[in-house]
Amino acid sequence: MSSPAHSPAHGGHDHGHDESKFQIYVQIAMLLAVITGVEIVAVYLPFAKWILVTSLVVLSAVKFLFVIFYFMHLRWDKPFCTVLFFIGLVIAGGTAWALIALFQAEASLPLPT
């Protein structure tokens, strides 16, 4: 039986759980640093532009997912919160795409007189 000082009802903390999350955060931070280093090195390598852009987009998407699921705590939240986040992300992405399409270069040229 656990002692009352360490039970959650008496304000005790599960230090093992906190330390394991801390280790996960440190490991993910190191992984994000390595991915960022790979991105920086990749820019200077002589690859075709489409390969470079594709790899940078994929690596950035991986970093984005790690950040939102671990550092924004979506992994431990209710699935409803994750769904709401992605709904907002899709709406924001669609708005950005619409604005880019609306204000592209040819739309900003002056009208012929």
* Stated pTM of the model: 0.66
Closest by CA position to 52, among listed 63, 64, 40: 40
Whether the Cβ atoms of residue 32 and residue 67 lie closer than 8 Å to each other: yes
What number of other Cβ atoms are within 10 A of residue 71's Cβ? 13
pLDDT of residue 15: 56
* Greatest mean pLDDT range, 9-18, 85-94, 104-113: 85-94
Per-residue pLDDT reduced to its tens digit, 63-79: 999 999 888 888 888 99
pLDDT of residue 95: 97
